[in-house]
Amino acid sequence: MPVKEGYYTKFDVMQSLPEWDSHTREIVQQRLHGSDTYANLTIIEAEILKSLCQHMTGEERPDVIQYAVTHLDQQSAAAKGESQRKAGTPPLGKLIANGLQAFELSVRGECIVSFLELEAGKQLEIVQKIRQGHYDRHSCWLERNISPNVWFQKLLGIFTEAVYSHPVVWSEIGYAGPAYPRGYVRVGLHDIDPWEAIMDV
């Protein structure tokens, strides 16, 4: 059982599963059984992305991180479109893959070893440098026509949407989640339905 840090250590949103409609149930249950086969990513890329996900979202539970990386893989493989893409930015699949190459090259250039071989503190330092624009003029990014910051933002957005769609995280933050057909009865200030999270005392 993952360690929780929030206010609601006894709450498990999945206990309400029988109360949800079957479509929602199916979608949420699938997230708990995150697969580790990828459409686009190599195993090494997936491992780098897992550490990046951890640093970018502050999430540490392996199951949640695994789900976030599979979600990213699916997004970049899907033909459905990206809703919007900034002018001058390559399509998602290319952005992620080429960005990962540029990222590894930057790390190797600076630290000699791969990102995966660095200790956590050093890894975080590198991620912070990306954010601060440290690598913006590095040739390994420029050659691939990728802005480190755009790459960072894209990963962060996709990881975040996955992490906060995971029922383990819902339980931790005390979000009572899907509610069809039963809905919520007590909605006003200080009103709590019996199936909602109760704070630890």
Partner 1 sequence: MFDTRYLQEEADICIVGAGAAGGVLAKELAEAGMRVVVIEAGPFRDPQKHFASDELAMETLSWEETRIVDGGDPLRLGSNNCGKGVGGGTQHWTAVCLRFHPSDFRTYSEDGVGVDWPLAYEDLEPYYARHERELAVSGPKHFPWGAFHGPYPWPERNPLSSNAEIFQMGCQKLGIDWCVTPLVILTGPFEGRAPCTNRGFCNQGCMPNAKFSTLIVHIPKAIQAGAVVYADATVVEIEMGKDGKAKGVVFVHDGMTYRQKAKIVILSAFVVENPRLLLHSANAQFPNGLANSSGWVGKGIMVHSSDDVYAKFPEEIRFYKGSPVMASTQAFYETNPNRGFVRGYTLHAHGSRPMSMAKGIATTAGIWGRQLRELMLNYNFYGRVTVVGEVLPAPWNRVALHAEETDAHGVPKAHVTFTYGDNDKRLLEHAVKKAEEILAAAGGKPVVRTHDTAHLMGGCRMGKDPATSVVNRDCQTHDIPNLFICDASVFPTSGGGNPTHTVMAIAARTADAIKTKTVRREI
Q: Which two tokens stand for residue 9?
A: 């250590």
Contact string (CB under 8 A) for partner 1, positions 34-73, x = contact: ---------------------xxxxx--------------
Contact between 77 and 93 (Cβ < 8 Å): yes
Which residues, in sequence order, are bridge partners of residue 181?
20
Contact between 40 and 72 (Cβ < 8 Å): no
In one-letter notation, the amino acid at residue 181 is: P
- What whole-number distance in Å separates Cα of residue 178 and Cα of residue 39? 29
Does 165 engage in binding with partner 1 (CB under 8 A)?
Answer: yes
Q: In degrees rounded to 5, what are phi and psi of residue 181?
A: -90, -5
CB of 41 to partner 1, least distance (A): 19
Does 138 engage in binding with partner 1 (CB under 8 A)?
Answer: no
* Candidates 43-51, 94-102, 112-120, 192-200; binding stretch for partner 1 (CB under 8 A): 192-200
- What whole-number distance in Å separates Cα of residue 88 and Cα of residue 91? 10
* Candidates 3-11, 32-40, 100-108, 111-119; binding stretch for partner 1 (CB under 8 A): 3-11
Return the number of the residue (108 or 177) whose C-beta is nearest partner 1: 177
CB of 14 to partner 1, least distance (A): 14
User: DSSP letter string over 30-49?
Assistant: HHHT-----SS--HHHHHHH
Does 83 engage in binding with partner 1 (CB under 8 A)?
Answer: yes
Contact between 86 and 150 (Cβ < 8 Å): yes
Kindly tell me which residue out of 28, 96, 102, 107 binds partner 1, with binding defined by CB under 8 A.
28
Q: Which residues bind partner 1 (CB under 8 A)?
A: 5-7, 20-21, 23-24, 27-28, 55-59, 79-87, 91, 124, 127, 131, 153, 156-157, 160-165, 169-170, 172-185, 187-192, 196-197, 199
